[in-house]
Amino acid sequence: DVLVNNAGFAYKAADPTPFKGQTEKTLAINYYGLVDFTERMIPLVRKGQDPRIVNVASQSGFLKQVQPDLQKKFVDENLTIDKLNALMKEFAQAVHDGNHKERGWSGSNYGMSKLGVIAATRIWARQESGMISINSCCPGYCATDMSSHKGPRPAEEGAKNAVIPATMESPPTG
């Protein structure tokens, strides 16, 4: 009855790969992989007795990393997965063209991928209202391989933020 999407990838700050070279892989794993998998799983999850989806996002997915005109697009109540995919492709194209900051986009591939996850969560929560409880959560900065074990919290503490909406009675959605 529960799907927890916890895949995540980030380049280390010391990685020599140029920003432009990091975009495709980061979005492919953190955003497109999650969206594609979830879209395929929703019909199966919907059949559960108490179906839930929890997407592990990040505080890095904050809305204000993009300019106000783009913020409006990410929170538009008429946003669909297709339109969101187009927005994410627009970001990737702007990075490829070397003008993403001038066009109001973030300077963080990881942050953009997680903003996409949060927006997708809101879309699915709206579409599946009354059928599936769908939420996103942030585990916080944890001591994991991804943070080079620099986070102040153990991974077990961060995991609780996904376990709570996955197991609580009558969870909210969205």
Q: Which of 11, 31, 32, 110 is catalytic?
A: 110
CA proximity to 79, closest of 92, 66, 68, 70: 70
Rg of the Cα trace of the chain?
A: 16
DSSP string, 7-48: ------TT--S-HHHHHHHHHIIIIIHHHHHHHHHHHHHHTS
Q: Which residues, 6 or more positions from 93, have their beta carbon under 8 angstroms from its beta carbon?
A: none
Q: Using an 8 Å Cβ cutoff, are 24 and 92 in contact?
A: yes
- For residue 150, the tally of other CB atoms under 10 A from its CB is 10
What's the CA gap between 94 and 115, in Å, rounded? 16
CA proximity to 51, closest of 8, 88, 4: 4
110 flagged as catalytic: yes
What's the CA gap between 7 and 22, in Å, rounded? 17
The pair of three-digit structure tokens given for residue 60, joined into one six-digit string: 């890095």
Instruction: Give the catalytic positions in this structure.
Output: 110
